[in-house]
Amino acid sequence: MDFLIASSTEDLCELLAQDPTRQLLAGGTDFMVEVNFRHRDVTGVIAIDRIEELKRWRHDGDSVLIGSCVTYREIERGPLATLIPALAQSARTIGSPQIRNAGTIGGNLATASPAGDMIPVLSALGAQVIVRSKSGVRELQVGELITGVKTNSLLEDEFIESVRVPVLRGPQEFLKVGPRNAMVISVTSLAMVTDIDKEYIGIALGSVSASPCRSTEAEHFISKNINWDKLTVQSGAIENFESLVRESANPIDDHRSSSGYRTHTVGILARRALLRIFRLEN
């Protein structure tokens, strides 16, 4: 097997253009599991975790540009956690400290698992994924990148360079249901973000559909039932809000849960996130 180490994004573009069958290795937390279980045939690997540009992030006005090799460890605390609290909350729920030291935001997006915990947060925030190859750069919505269960729309010679995440003014929540609190793949998850300036709430669900799931109707409905000056919610709106969130889910039965339980829990998570962010109106 060829094992190559890319030193820059230009180098990576060149190595992929020469042979697009080469596979990218970032933190290896998904990749190596598949190799060890012989679920992945590999003839050539390019390690990307030493590319400095991919390991950096920067705050650019009203957004943060996060390199694809930024790890959960860096997202879960420090300035990134202040700028994008729901992303930090979600990072803190992922695996163990060892997994969070190695696993990257780019790997989570490229793996495209319905249970990928970065995905609902990035969807709710309307993040843009920047993908690159020798032929140029494209910007995709998370829902355009992730096309189904573990499938993405990257071209053979493309890689995820970075993710542009809007920085919003307003509280955010990420909640996850699993059989225990740590080291758990989500049975369901929910991200709720607020934009006080636009008086809008973004909601996305995890593990309830093949591709990223925004609860658009619930977002429109509940945004109109908030007093944005006082940050309160009308109590009479909560039941309908929960139903709209449940209706937006399209879960399956699998070894982790029944579809009925998944549908039930996203409603609970929606109510809980809402009431953590907004007080009930008297």
Binding site for ligand FAD (CB under 6 A): 23-31, 33, 48, 68, 93-95, 99, 102-104, 106-108, 110-111, 115-117, 154, 159-160, 185
| Cα separation, 211 vs 216, whole angstroms | 15
- Beta carbon of residue 268, minimum distance to ligand FAD (angstroms, whole number): 20
The residues near 63 (Cβ < 8 Å, ≥ 6 apart) are 164, 165, 166, 167
> Least distance (Å) from ligand FAD to the CB of residue 3?
13
Reading the block at residue 16, the tokens are: 């992929």
Which is closer to ligand FAD, CB of 71 or CB of 194? 71
- Closer CB to ligand FAD, residue 114 or residue 170? 114
CA 191/CA 205 separation, integer angstroms: 6
Instruction: Evaluate the CA torsion angle 126, 127, 128, 129 in order and state its sign.
Output: negative
Shortest Å distance, C-beta 4 to ligand FAD: 13
Give the nearer residue to ligand FAD in terms of CB position, either 99 or 252: 99
- Nearer residue to ligand FAD within complex by CB, 107 or 202: 107
CA angle (157 as vertex; 151, 158 as ends), nearest 5: 65
- In angstroms, what is the minimal distance from the CB of 39 to ligand FAD? 11
**Which residue has its beta carbon closest to ligand FAD?**
107
Q: Tokens 């929910």 map to which residue?
A: 190
